[in-house]
C-alpha cells in the first residue's frame, strides 16, 4: 500500500467502492485523512462498511468540510452527463481527482525522483505495461506494476528511488489526474473509443495527450507516430522541449526513434542506426501491433537506464498477457487463441493481421462502427462464427465475403470452429476468439469470457496445452 499523507487531517470524500475505491479509502486512512465513502450500489456500501470504511450519503454532507472528491474512474465525470456526486462537488468548488493523481502528489512529496513510467493508448497498453514490468524485473530491479492493468495503484508499495512504478493509465484515469507527471510517458496510438464518456474524438485525444504533456523535466516521451493524432502529439511535445522517442512499425524513421524492419526493431539516434533487436521466435510478441508494444517497452526501458543486452534477453522470456492473443490449446495443426481482450475492431485487426487460415469467433456488444474496418483482412479468415447481440449486424457485414454461421453462444462457436478447423486439414489453422466487441451482453467482463473460452477448448477431445 502507498499511504497518502498529502491529505492528512483533511476530510476526503471517495465515490465508487469497487476495487480501486476501497484501495483509495485504505491508503487515505493510512496517511491520516478523514474518509467518508459512498456508492450508488447498496451492496458496495455494505462491503465498505464490513471493511471498516466510514460511509455517508454525500447529499447530506457539509461540503465546506470536504477537501476533495476522489472519483472512481468508472464514474462519469463529464459525459454523457456528470454523475450527481460530481455536480455536488462542482457546485461547492471542491476539486475532483482520482487515485492516479493521489499517487502523483504523494510521489512528489515522498520521492520526486523515483522511477515512474505511465502508459496509455487505445490499444496495446496492457501488453506494453506488462512487458516493461517483465523486463525491469528480469533485470533484477524492484518493480511495482498496476493501474488500469489490474492492481490499483494505491495498493502498490510506495514510490522510492529503488523501486520503479509501471502504471497503465486509461483515459478515464488520466481525466482525473491533472498533475500526472511520469518520468517516462508512453502513448502508443489513438483511435475512436469511449466516445460516450468523452463526447467526441477530439476530447478523447486531448485527454490521452495529457500523459505526454505532463512528462517531468528531464523525462522521456515515447510516442507511436503511425496515426495522425499521435504524430501531432509528438511534434507538440518536442516543441515544448520534451525529449521524444518516436515509434513506427509502418515506415522507416530518419530521426531519433525506433522502427520495424522485417522482424527487427531498429533504433535510430542522430540519424544513425544505433542498434537492432530481433523479435523472431518470440510467440508472445507476434504481429505488427506487438512489435509496436515491444518497441515502446524497449524505448522506455532504455530511458530507465537498462542496456540493450539486458532488454533483449528479458524480452525472449515474456509470457504474454492472459486474454490477449493467448495460446490456450492445440490439437494437431490447430492452435486455439484467446484474444477476448479485443473489445473493439482496431484491437481485433491486430489479431487478424497476425494469423492466416483463421476460424474466427466474433461478436458480443458492438462498439461504434462495428467491423466494417476489418473487411480488408477477411481474406485471412476461412470462416466466422458469430455470437451475442452483434451477431446479426456482423452477419450483414460479412455476408458474401466469407462463410459464416450465426451460433449465438460461445460453446457452440468453439465446437463448430474446432470441427471445421480440424476437417480443413491445413498445415496450420487457428481458432481465434477475437470478438471486436464488449462482453457485457453475455459476460460481466472480457476476462470471464476468455476464461470460458479456455475451459471450453481444454475440454475438447484431444486438445492439450500448446
Give the C-alpha distances (Å, rounded to integers) separating 113 from 5, 32, 317, 322, 429: 18, 24, 30, 32, 49
Q: Is residue 466 part of a domain?
A: no
Q: Is residue 337 part of a domain?
A: yes
Instruction: List strand residue ranges (DSSP E) for 82-224, in order.
Output: 95-97, 116-120, 142-147, 163-168, 184-187, 220-224
pTM of the model: 0.85
CATH of the domain at 437: 3.90.190.20
Verify that 114 and 181 share a domain, yes or no: yes
Q: Which of 325, 320, 317 is nearest to 349 (CA)?
A: 325
| Number of domains present in the structure of the chain | 3
DSSP string, 64-108: GGEEEEEE-TTS-SSSSS--HHHHHHHHTT-EEE-HHHHHHHHHH
End residue of a domain, out of 262, 289, 315: 315
> What is the pLDDT, as a whole number, of residue 195?
84
> What is the pLDDT, as a whole number, of residue 347?
87
Residue 143 pairs in a beta bridge with 164
Verify that 49 and 83 share a domain, yes or no: yes
> What is the pLDDT, as a whole number, of residue 286?
85
- Cell numbers 477431445 label which residue? 461
Q: Is residue 411 part of a domain?
A: yes
CATH of the domain at 282: 3.40.1190.10
Q: Is residue 270 part of a domain?
A: yes
Q: Is residue 82 part of a domain?
A: yes
Q: Is residue 321 part of a domain?
A: no
Verify that 42 and 109 share a domain, yes or no: no
Verify that 204 and 182 share a domain, yes or no: yes
Verify that 366 and 398 share a domain, yes or no: yes
Range of the domain at 45: 11-97
Verify that 195 and 295 share a domain, yes or no: yes
> What is the pLDDT, as a whole number, of residue 329?
95
Verify that 161 and 272 share a domain, yes or no: yes
> What is the pLDDT, as a whole number, of residue 332?
95
Verify that 437 and 448 share a domain, yes or no: yes
Verify that 299 and 334 share a domain, yes or no: no
Verify that 225 and 340 share a domain, yes or no: no
> What is the pLDDT, as a whole number, of residue 375?
97
CA distance 236 to 266: 24
Q: What does the pLDDT profile of the chain (466 residues) look like in tens digits?
A: 999 999 999 999 999 999 999 999 999 999 999 999 999 999 999 999 999 999 999 999 999 999 999 999 999 999 999 999 999 999 999 999 999 999 999 999 999 999 999 999 998 899 999 999 999 999 999 999 999 988 999 999 999 999 999 999 999 999 999 999 999 999 999 987 788 889 899 999 999 999 999 999 999 999 999 999 999 999 999 999 999 999 999 999 988 899 999 999 999 988 888 889 999 988 889 888 899 999 999 999 999 999 999 999 999 999 888 898 899 999 999 999 999 999 989 889 989 999 999 999 999 999 888 999 999 999 999 999 999 999 999 999 999 999 999 999 999 999 999 999 999 999 999 999 999 999 999 999 999 999 999 999 999 999 998 8
> What is the pLDDT, as a whole number, of residue 463?
95
Verify that 305 and 374 share a domain, yes or no: no
End residue of a domain, out of 97, 128, 144: 97
CATH of the domain at 40: 3.40.50.720
Q: Which of 371, 415, 427, 417 is nearest to 394 (CA)?
A: 371
End residue of a domain, out of 65, 97, 129: 97
- Cell numbers 523535466 label which residue? 217
Task: Decide: helix, strand or coil at residue 440.
Answer: coil
Verify that 332 and 305 share a domain, yes or no: no
Q: Is residue 339 part of a domain?
A: yes
Q: Is residue 5 part of a domain?
A: no
Amino acid at each position: 500500500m502507498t499511504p497518502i499523507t498529502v491529505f492528512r487531517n483533511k476530510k476526503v470524500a471517495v465515490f465508487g467502492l469497487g476495487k480501486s475505491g476501497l484501495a483509495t479509502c485504505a491508503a487515505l486512512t493510512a496517511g491520516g485523512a478523514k474518509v467518508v465513502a459512498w456508492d450508488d450500489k447498496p451492496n458496495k456500501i455494505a462491503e465498505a462498511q464490513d471493511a471498516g470504511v466510514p460511509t455517508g450519503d454525500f447529499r447530506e454532507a457539509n461540503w465546506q468540510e470536504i477537501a476533495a472528491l476522489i472519483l472512481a474512474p468508472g464514474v462519469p465525470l463529464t459525459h454523457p452527463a456528470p454523475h450527481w456526486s460530481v455536480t455536488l462537488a462542482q457546485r461547492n468548488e471542491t476539486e475532483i481527482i482520482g487515485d492516479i493523481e493521489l499517487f502523483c502528489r504523494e510521489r512528489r512529496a515522498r520521492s520526486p525522483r523515483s522511477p515512474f513510467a505511465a502508459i496509455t493508448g487505445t490499444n496495446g497498453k496492457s501488453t506494453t505495461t506488462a512487458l516493461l514490468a517483465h523486463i525491469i524485473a528480469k533485470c533484477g530491479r524492484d518493480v511495482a506494476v498496476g493501474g488500469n492493468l489490474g492492481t490499483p495503484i494505491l495498493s502498490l508499495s510506495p514510490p522510492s528511488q529503488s523501486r520503479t512504478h509501471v502504471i497503465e493509465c486509461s483515459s478515464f484515469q488520466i481525466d482525473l489526474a491533472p498533475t500526472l507527471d511520469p518520468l517516462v510517458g508512453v502513448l502508443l496510438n489513438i483511435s475512436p473509443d469511449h466516445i460516450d464518456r468523452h463526447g467526441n474524438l477530439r476530447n478523447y485525444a486531448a485527454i490521452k495527450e495529457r500523459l505526454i504533456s505532463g512528462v517531468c523535466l528531464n523525462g522521456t516521451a515515447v510516442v507511436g507516430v503511425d496515426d495522425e493524432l499521435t504524430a501531432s502529439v509528438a511534434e507538440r511535445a518536442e516543441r515544448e522541449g520534451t525529449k521524444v522517442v518516436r515509434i513506427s512499425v509502418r515506415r522507416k524513421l530518419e530521426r531519433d526513434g525506433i522502427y520495424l524492419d522485417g522482424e527487427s526493431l531498429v533504433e535510430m539516434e542522430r540519424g544513425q542506426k544505433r542498434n537492432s533487436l530481433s523479435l523472431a521466435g518470440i510467440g508472445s510478441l507476434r504481429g505488427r501491433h506487438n512489435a509496436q508494444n515491444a518497441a515502446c517497452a524497449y524505448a522506455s526501458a532504455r530511458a530507465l537506464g537498462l542496456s540493450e543486452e539486458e532488454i533483449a534477453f528479458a524480452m525472449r522470456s515474456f509470457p504474454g498477457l492472459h486474454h490477449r492473443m493467448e495460446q490456450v490449446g492445440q490439437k494437431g495443426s490447430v492452435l486455439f487463441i484467446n484474444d477476448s481482450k479485443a473489445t473493439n475492431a482496431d484491437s481485433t485487426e491486430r489479431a487478424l493481421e497476425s494469423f492466416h487460415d483463421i476460424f474466427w469467433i466474433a461478436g458480443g456488444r458492438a462498439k461504434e462502427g462495428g467491423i466494417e474496418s476489418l473487411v480488408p483482412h477477411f481474406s485471412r479468415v476461412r470462416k466466422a462464427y458469430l455470437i451475442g447481440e452483434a451477431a446479426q449486424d456482423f452477419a450483414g457485414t460479412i455476408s458474401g465475403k466469407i462463410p459464416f454461421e450465426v451460433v449465438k453462444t460461445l460453446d457452440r462457436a468453439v465446437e463448430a470452429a474446432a470441427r471445421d478447423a480440424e476437417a480443413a486439414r491445413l498445415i496450420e489453422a487457428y481458432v481465434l476468439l477475437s470478438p471486436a466487441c464488449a462482453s457485457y451482453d453475455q459476460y460481466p467482463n472480457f476476462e470471464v469470457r476468455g476464461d470460458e473460452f479456455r475451459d471450453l477448448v481444454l475440454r475438447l477431445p484431444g486438445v492439450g496445452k500448446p
